[in-house]
Structure 1
Amino acid sequence: MSALDLLVAAAVAMIAGGINSIAGGGSLILFPTLVALGLGTVEANVTNSVAQWPGYLGGVAGFRPEYRGQRSRIVRLGLVAVLGGTVGSVLLLTTPTEAFDVVVPVLVLLASSLLALQPLVTARLRRQDDDAAAGDPVWLYVALFLATVYGGYFGGALGVILVGVLGLALHRLKLANALKSALSAVTASVTVVVFGLFGDVHWGVVAVAAPAGLLGGFVGARIATRIPTAPLRAFIVCFGVAVSVYLFLRI
């Protein structure tokens, strides 16, 4: 990649990190950018996963006040995320590139659709939101495992899925949003280890995109409650649908 390509990757990674903290769906911006810069779909996916990892850590730092009293819950759910992320990332590396090329347009379209439906899910969760302590239903662990398998395999709009699952289970939307960042970070950490050891990661992109994503994730978490997310979400959804159509045509 040229210096200009790396600069573009860094700029988009910073935006993606902020988007992940504010509305979710940052992968729908960075992944197709890396493909457009010349990476193969699998290489772009693993590079995207590794590069965005610091952005998730920035989001966790920004939501830190929300984690008071949640240590045991984070540990329990985090262990499930480790298992799911491992299964998903290993599945990606053992899937033929040709098969992933066929599946990825569907995944991008699915992620875009989930992001579009997020306001409906959020509205429902807000109506049932309360501050009462809630236990963790058994189905939450099953749903979380399946969600993080998806996150390890592709990861687009994983945050949207996690907010929906956690919100429905815990009836606390603010806590669900904070836990989403923590569990996304856990899943991303697993993919960093697996992809870093066994995946075809473009480390030049990671070197510039990772710190940019960290900054974007932290800033995004700090301003998540201060800016309107609807226009940003609409742009990401439209962009994701366009990317999906493009990838379909490439098959």
Structure 2
Amino acid sequence: MLAGVGAGLTGSVAGLASLVSYPALLAVGLPPVTANVTNTVALFGVTGGTIAGSQRELRGQGRRLLRLVVVSVLGGAVGAALLLLTPAEAFETMVPWLLGLGSLLLLARDRVRSWVSARPSNGLSFDGVRRTATWATVVFALGVYGGYFGAGVGIIALAALALERSEPLPVTNAVKNVATGAANGAAAITYILFAPVQWSAAIALGCGAVVGGLVGPSIVRVAPETALRWLVGSAGLLLAVRLATN
């Protein structure tokens, strides 16, 4: 539950809640695959809160969101299927690299945001068909990654979706939350039906995440955000190294 609170707070600060919750599930003895599916199910409730808090930014985005949700759901389902159908040893081998990637993305968040904000306003020069196909492929790939593991997918998705069109960054961020939430939801449903979810951990983690998500914004206003982000990112890198060398 405490890890869930921390994940909710970290999600408010940096958008990478899994870097707190997933290692905590490993620390209490859950196998990597069980920890991953339990984490996905537990943190799905946070998605609803982020979407509910972004209604102003999402106004008028209905048709765009519908396309993104359909592609993201397909990607999330494929990612979940890959996790369940591939050997557990394969996932265990990839965990240190995935965790390390998520940690690096957290540490580089400000650089990514600066790059997104400074990008040219004229967008890409693709024709309509090629551009649609390109972004459908990108969103699908992000959905697959989100369904398979997910840590760091928010940062990648924010950078990718910002290339689609010129708009305020809060709008892109809100659209990103819907897209990644759809992939996470598809994976969560798949895991509930077919995967070994550890329900006592999922419920405790989920309850803590709700608390963290509710109080996070007020704490973020006074907390040293940069120090907290570097603490979490550095701890994630250390854990990745430890898992890789065991």
TM-score by length of 1: 0.87
Cα distance change of structure 1 residues 74 and 95 upon mapping to structure 2, 3 Å threshold:
same
For residue 156 of structure 1, give the secondary structure of its aligned residue in structure 2. Answer: coil
CA distance in 1, matches of 2:220, 2:68: 24
Match of 1:167 in 2: 162
Deviation, 1:170, is 2.4
Query: For 2:67 and 2:74, how far apart are their aligned partners in 1?
Result: 11
Give me the whole-angstrom Cα distance separating, in 1, the residues matched to 2:181 and 2:211. 15
| Match among 203, 210, 226 for residue 214 of structure 1 | 210
CA deviation map 1:146-167 (0-9, x unaligned): 1110110001011111111111
Supply the AA of the counterpart residue of 1:167.
A
Corresponding position of 1:148: 143
* Stretch deviating more after TM superposition (57-66 or 24-33): 57-66
Aligned-pair identity in percent equals 36
1:182 to 2:154 alignment: no
Q: Is residue 59–residue 218 contact of structure 1 (8 Å, CA) maintained in 2?
A: no
Count of matched residue positions in the alignment of Structure 1 and Structure 2: 238
Counterpart pick for 2:235 among 233, 239, 248? 239
- Correspondent of 1:25 among 10, 16, 40: 16
CA distance in 2, matches of 1:82, 1:35: 27
1:171 Cα deviation from its structure 2 partner: 3.0
Q: Which residue of 1 aligns with 2:195?
A: 199
1: CA distance, partners of 2:120 / 2:62: 21
Relative to structure 1, is the Cα distance of residues 222 and 90 closer, same or farther in structure 2, using a 3 angstrom cutoff? farther
Please tell me whether residue 119 in structure 1 is matched to residue 119 in structure 2: no
Q: How many Å apart are 1:222 and its aligned residue?
A: 7.2
C-alpha separation in 2, matches of 1:228 and 1:142: 37
Counterpart amino acid of 2:112? V
What is the aligned partner in structure 2 of residue 7 from structure 1? none
- 1:57 matched residue in structure 2: 48
| Alpha-carbon contact 2:21-2:205 (below 8 Å) kept | no
C-alpha RMSD of the superposition: 2.3
Amino acid of the structure 1 residue aligned with 2:59: R
The one-letter code of the counterpart of 1:79 is: V
SS of structure 2 residue aligned to 1:169: coil
- Secondary structure (helix, strand or coil) at the match of 2:108 reads helix
Change beyond 3 A, Cα 1:199–1:211: same
Out of 81, 95, 107, the position equivalent to 2:72 is 81
Q: Give the letter aligned to residue 72 of structure 2.
A: A
Residues 194-217 of structure 1, C-alpha deviation per residue, up to 9 Å, x if partnerless? 000111100011122213223333
1-structure distance, mates of 2:227, 2:205? 25
